[in-house]
Amino acid sequence: MRVVAGWLLVAAVLTGCGTGGDGVDDGGVDGGVDRGVDRGVDGGAALERQREDVRSAAAELVTGAIDVLGGRSSHTGGGFDGCESAGPDEFRTFRYRASGRVDVGPGAVRPYLDALAPVLTSAGFDEPVARERPGGRSLQAERDGVSASFSELPGAGDYVLVNLQGPCVEVPEDERDVWLRRQDPTPYL
Amino acid sequence: MTTEIRLPPLPRPVPALTCDPGAISSCGADLLAASAQVDDLGTFVAGPARLGDWSGDAATAYHRAIAPTGRRADAMSLALRGVAHRVEEHSAEMQRLLDRRAGLEDRHQHLAQQIAHLRAEVATTTVEGAAELQADCDRVTGQVQAYETDLDTWASDLATEESEMSQAFTRVLDADDVERLYGGVADPADDALRDKPAAGASPTDVHDWWVALTPAQRRAVIAASPGSIGNLDGIPAAARHAANTVSLGRDLADYAHTDAAGVLTDDERTWYENARAADDARREIEGRHDPVTGEPIVAQVYIYDPAAFGGDGAVAISAGDLDTADNVAVVVPGLGTDGESAPYQADRAATLYESTRALDPSASNASMFWIGYDAPDNAPWDEGVDGAGVVAETMATAGGERLADTIDGLRASREDDPAHLTAIGHSYGSTTTGHGAHDEGLDVDDIVFVGSPGVGGDTDHASDTGIDPDHVWAGSNSRDPVADLGNHGWVHGETVLGAGLGDDPAEDDFGANRFQAESETRGGLFSFGDHSKYFDHDTESLYNISHIVNGDYDAVQHAEHIHDPFLGGPHDPEYDRDPTSPATSTLTP
């Protein structure tokens, strides 16, 4: 019995097919929850738009943080990440994420996050929510599906981290490898 | 009566410095790869190009003609290598100068603020307060003078560094200079390689040889003979990475050139694809950022052999520093994996790195995907018989041996500073990991099986792995059809006529710790998609694997085991539990 099952597995997975009709689906979408996934017609175009949105928001937040805390920015980069795996070597959905670091100026006073809520709201994000995270705290907010956070880890150093990401976007099967291997080395700031 | 206050002088601003040390380092790597290419030519001329069974006038003329080419190639290789190493030093020095400049800018800003404050004080001070204010001004004046001295030193150091870098280039600008400086010079790699332990030596012997070399010899071996140490167990990860980076850069340049000339063979095209996949994988990791420091994640190419396993390729790349990390995880993928899987596996490794770091910022981590064995990766009617291997354990047995060698290599290079080491086998990789543990005595602290179709026919119980069962873990999504392939029940008839992969490690009889691994996006009954979600962010599986990797066992969310009663089929209590989405990334609500 196991031999048969094993061969069915080989046939199904190596040819990239779900078997259907035998209680086996191939994506986990129809039978399960598909939380927060943008299933627009053109996933590629949506991801390109998301990249622009996330990068411009990231630049705005980093600049705003420097305005209120002084200091300088570094490691202002981003890229496309797979969200949900769909089989061997393949993601079904992708999103754009960006991050950055602001080493605060000599006059900045802890907790740095206290000064950063207005930076989020003035950039059009919802009222931020403060959360604990291992080693520190973060301020999180959303704007049109883009999540953003400032984090402060007192034991790590005198800096705040900026992280943003867009919603997961489904892309056609024949484009998944392209998005998986897409690089984006240019800093947004 | 008026009192004159001497204000401090305004400090000079720090001059702008536009510089990208990463780009400089990349240039150095390219030069080193070019050096390796030229060195290959020298080796070819001194070796295979000499035709020992050819004699006569023509043979003499031929050998005389090629000899200068080999000598020039050797000299040019050494010259390029010298410049490449200087460029690498330049990259590090420019980073230090940038850091010093940032410190000077902070001081400048702070001094400017203090002087502005003192200026305001002068306007309102009284005669009684004048002496104290003058003392403040004198103190700041001293700080300005110290700043000006440091600024001059910085500017001087910058000029010196740029001048020395320029000289490194200009001294070997033409062929005569190269010949004069490097013609007939012995390569420091030669002596070092002469003492290299023979094939089959233990990782400990290899490590002892490596640490006994001088820094110059190590750098020479990396540049001249990267293939001799890049995949050699016992060599520290940083050195393997440096060597494999040279090999990768050389291969990409070679294959691109051959392709452009229209003479790339089918085999070479496959190897080229594997090389490009390895390069993309490395860049994928380097493009991600540490969730604690915000800095780019360090990538280390630990194994690189694009032609291994009949062209399937071997590659292992770490997210994080394997030589120093407190916690090291080695992820063994399974069915469908070959060299071209590297970019996807790199995403997984980086995600695991992010999760482990986010959940415990106090520890350092490295997560390596390991495509170091020949996994079942293609359909038998397509490219060969690899795919048929998925129903038998032959490939897992061979893979287990290779995995144990890799683990021994990691251990040997850190004997004085051992990491907490976890092997994670996914899918057929869990069968491979099981064989590594049972057959070879895998030297790890924890073993994790996820989505396992069976952990090998000889492993009936967690204790058969040779690891304390408290440190043997199993994650099994109730909708994962592959995880359902393992043998259930107390009769171990899982390897009938060599087919079948062994027991399900998530079952109660097996004796491992089962952790929660359901997904909020799981399918209805069985879903192939659920076989691949174990390493996705914000899943129960990644959360629990990360805590195991970090040695934070109390935080692991345990799950009830699968039970197979004497009558009736296996029962999975997890099937009816509502899945959760514990945070593993910094942006999870």
- DSSP per-residue letters across B317-366: EEES-TTT-SEEEEEE--TT-SGGGHHHHHHHHHHHHHHHHHH-TTS-EE
Q: Which among A6, A31, A133 is the nearest to B586, CB-wise?
A: A133
Task: Assess whether A55 and A133 both reside in one domain.
Answer: yes
Q: Is residue B12 part of a domain?
A: no
Report how far Cα B367 is from the mean position of its chain's Cα atoms. Answer: 8
Structure tokens that stand for B395 in this block: 């490939």
Q: Which of B182, B204, B222 is the last residue of a domain?
A: B182
DSSP, res B571: B
Contact present, A59 and A186 (Cβ < 8 Å): no
Look at residue B221 and tell me whether its pLDDT is greater than 60: yes
pTM: 0.89
Q: Is residue B556 part of a domain?
A: yes
Please give the ipTM for the structure prediction: 0.87
B458's CB contacts (< 8 A; 6+ apart) are: B438, B439, B464, B502
Query: Sign of dihedral through CA atoms B467, B469, B472, B474?
Result: positive
Contact present, B400 and B436 (Cβ < 8 Å): yes
Provide the residue count of chain A. Answer: 189
Q: Is residue A186 part of a domain?
A: no
DSSP, res B84: H
Q: Are B336 and A30 within 8 A, CB to CB? A: no
pLDDT bucket at B489, cuts 50 / 70 / 90: low
B220's CB contacts (< 8 A; 6+ apart) are: B81, B187, B188, B189, B192
Structure tokens that stand for B520 in this block: 């909020």
Q: Are B532 and A105 within 8 A, CB to CB? A: no
Task: Assess whether A19 and A62 both reside in one domain.
Answer: no
Task: Assess whether B541 and B395 both reside in one domain.
Answer: yes
Q: Is residue A187 part of a domain?
A: no
Q: Is residue B204 part of a domain?
A: no
- Closest B-chain CA to A168: B537
Q: Are A183 and B391 within 8 A, CB to CB? A: no
Domain that residue B459 falls in? 314-576
Q: Which among B284, B344, B527 is the nearest to A89, CB-wise?
A: B344
Q: Are A135 and B340 within 8 A, CB to CB? A: no
The total number of structural domains in chain A stands at: 2
Contact present, B504 and B564 (Cβ < 8 Å): no
DSSP, res B431: H
Digitized pLDDT (tens) for each residue of chain A, 189 residues in all: 444 444 455 555 554 443 333 344 444 433 444 555 665 558 889 999 999 999 999 999 999 999 999 999 999 999 999 999 887 788 999 999 999 999 998 889 999 999 999 999 999 999 999 999 999 999 999 999 999 999 999 999 999 999 999 999 999 999 999 999 999 989 999
Q: Is B22 on the interface with A (CB under 8 A)?
A: no
Q: Are A85 and B533 within 8 A, CB to CB? A: yes
Residue A175 and residue B417: Cα distance in Å, rounded?
A: 44
Q: Are B391 and A10 within 8 A, CB to CB? A: yes
Residue B484 and residue B526: Cα distance in Å, rounded?
A: 9
- DSSP-derived pairing of the beta strands B299-305 and A136-143: unpaired
Residue B369 and residue B555: Cα distance in Å, rounded?
A: 24
Structure tokens that stand for B59 in this block: 């043979």
Q: Is residue A185 part of a domain?
A: no
Query: Sign of dihedral through CA atoms B201, B202, B206, B208?
Result: negative
Burial of A177 (0-12, 13-18, 19+ CB in 10 A): middle
Task: Assess whether A79 and A117 both reside in one domain.
Answer: yes
Q: Are A26 and B528 within 8 A, CB to CB? A: yes
Three-state DSSP at A96 gives: strand
Residue B514 and residue B506: Cα distance in Å, rounded?
A: 6
Task: Assess whether A66 and A115 both reside in one domain.
Answer: yes
Candidates A63, A44, A168; CA nearest to A122 is A63
Task: Assess whether A23 and A47 both reside in one domain.
Answer: no
pLDDT of the residue at B526: 77
How close does chain A come to B290, measured CA to CA in Å?
9
With b for 16 or more beta-carbon neighbours within 10 A and e for fewer, the B398-424 pattern comes to: bbbebbbbbbbbbbbbbeeeebbbbbb
The total number of structural domains in chain B stands at: 2
Residue B573 and residue A76: Cα distance in Å, rounded?
A: 45
pLDDT in tens, B360-399: 999 999 999 999 999 887 655 455 555 556 667 889 999 9
Q: Is residue B277 part of a domain?
A: no
Output the domain CATH number for residue A107: 3.30.2030
The residue type of B536 is D
How close does chain A come to B456, measured CA to CA in Å?
14
In chain A, what residues touch B531 (CB-CB under 8 Å)? 87
Q: Is residue A54 part of a domain?
A: yes
pLDDT of the residue at A19: 31
pLDDT of the residue at B57: 82
pLDDT in tens, B18-71: 888 989 999 999 999 999 989 888 888 878 888 877 888 888 888 888 888 888
Q: Give the Å distances, CA to CA, from B298 to A5, B42, B327, B353.
A: 41, 33, 15, 10
- Verify cis geometry, omega within 30 degrees of 0, for the bond prior to B573: no
pLDDT of the residue at A23: 40
Task: Assess whether A96 and A166 both reside in one domain.
Answer: yes
Q: Which among A70, A151, A181 is the nearest to B586, CB-wise?
A: A151
DSSP, res B573: G
Residue A124 and residue A141: Cα distance in Å, rounded?
A: 10
Q: Is A186 on the interface with B (CB under 8 A)?
A: no
Q: Are A153 and B294 within 8 A, CB to CB? A: no
Using alpha carbons only, give the angle B348, B20, B14 rounded to the nearest 5 degrees: 135
Task: Assess whether A28 and A72 both reside in one domain.
Answer: no
Report how far Cα A87 is from the mean position of its chain's Cα atoms. Answer: 20
How close does chain A come to B586, measured CA to CA in Å?
8
pLDDT of the residue at A148: 97
Q: Which among B359, B391, B532 is the nearest to A87, CB-wise?
A: B532
Q: Is residue A67 part of a domain?
A: yes
Candidates B456, B454, B452, B475; CA nearest to B464 is B456
- Closest B-chain CA to A83: B536
Report chain A's terminal Cα–Cα distance, integer Å.
59
Contact present, B486 and B509 (Cβ < 8 Å): no
How close does chain B come to A121, measured CA to CA in Å?
17
Q: Give the Å distances, CA to CA, from B273 to B16, B73, B260, B342.
A: 42, 29, 15, 11
How close does chain A come to B270, measured CA to CA in Å?
17
Residue B164 and residue B86: Cα distance in Å, rounded?
A: 9
With b for 16 or more beta-carbon neighbours within 10 A and e for fewer, the B154-190 pattern comes to: bbeebeebeeebeebeeebeeeeebbeebbeeebbbe
Give the lowest-confidence range in A76-80, B290-294, B517-521: B517-521
Cβ pairs bridging A and B (under 8 Å): 224
Candidates B226, B196, B287; CA nearest to A188 is B287
Three-state DSSP at B503 gives: strand
DSSP, res B492: -
pLDDT of the residue at B338: 93
Q: Is residue B587 part of a domain?
A: no
- Closest B-chain CA to A130: B589
How close does chain B come to A42, measured CA to CA in Å?
22
In chain B, what residues touch A6 (CB-CB under 8 Å)? 390-391, 453, 485, 499-501
Task: Assess whether A20 and A87 both reside in one domain.
Answer: no
Q: Are A185 and B358 within 8 A, CB to CB? A: no
Task: Assess whether A69 and A3 both reside in one domain.
Answer: no
Candidates B360, B356, B357, B369; CA nearest to B285 is B369
Task: Assess whether A142 and A72 both reside in one domain.
Answer: yes
Q: Are B524 and A25 within 8 A, CB to CB? A: yes
Q: Which among A28, A129, A135 is the nearest to B530, CB-wise?
A: A28
Helix residue ranges, H only, B16-170: 21-46, 57-124, 127-170
In chain A, what residues touch B382 (CB-CB under 8 Å)? 14
Candidates B556, B447, B555, B442; CA nearest to B511 is B447
For residue B391, the number of C-alpha atoms closer than 13 Å in the C-beta half-sphere is 19
B192's CB contacts (< 8 A; 6+ apart) are: B213, B217, B218, B220, B221
pLDDT of the residue at B63: 84
For residue B396, the number of C-alpha atoms closer than 13 Å in the C-beta half-sphere is 36
Task: Assess whether A128 and A162 both reside in one domain.
Answer: yes
Q: Are A34 and B380 within 8 A, CB to CB? A: no
Residue A166 and residue A52: Cα distance in Å, rounded?
A: 10
Q: Which of B182, B217, B238 is the last residue of a domain?
A: B182
Three-state DSSP at B258 gives: helix
- Residue written as token pair 């043998």: B487
- Closest B-chain CA to A136: B361
E strand or H helix at A151? strand A146-152
Of residues B563 and B321, more confidently modeled: B321
pLDDT of the residue at A41: 58
Contact present, B312 and B377 (Cβ < 8 Å): yes
How close does chain A come to B105, measured CA to CA in Å?
9
E strand or H helix at B300? strand B299-305
Compute how many other C-beta atoms are within 10 angstroms of the C-beta atom of residue B218.
Answer: 21
Q: Is residue A189 part of a domain?
A: no
Output the domain CATH number for residue B528: 3.40.50.1820
Domain that residue A15 falls in? 1-32
Chain B residues 278-307 with CB within 8 Å of chain A: 280, 283-284, 287-289, 291-296
Residue B413 and residue B127: Cα distance in Å, rounded?
A: 70
Using alpha carbons only, give the angle B482, B394, B489 rounded to the nearest 5 degrees: 45
Residue B213 and residue B211: Cα distance in Å, rounded?
A: 5
In chain A, what residues touch B337 (CB-CB under 8 Å)? 88-89
Task: Assess whether A135 and A67 both reside in one domain.
Answer: yes
Per the DSSP assignment, residues forming a β-bridge with B289 are B296
Structure tokens that stand for B159 in this block: 């000029």
Q: Is residue B343 part of a domain?
A: yes
Residue B491 and residue B46: Cα distance in Å, rounded?
A: 63
How close does chain B come to A15, measured CA to CA in Å?
7
In chain B, what residues touch A82 (CB-CB under 8 Å)? 344, 347, 536
Q: Which of B182, B217, B250 is the last residue of a domain?
A: B182
Strands, E assignment, chain A? 24-25, 37-38, 72-82, 85-87, 90-91, 93-103, 129-133, 136-143, 146-152, 159-165, 168-170
Residue B375 and residue B347: Cα distance in Å, rounded?
A: 19
How close does chain B come to A75, measured CA to CA in Å?
6
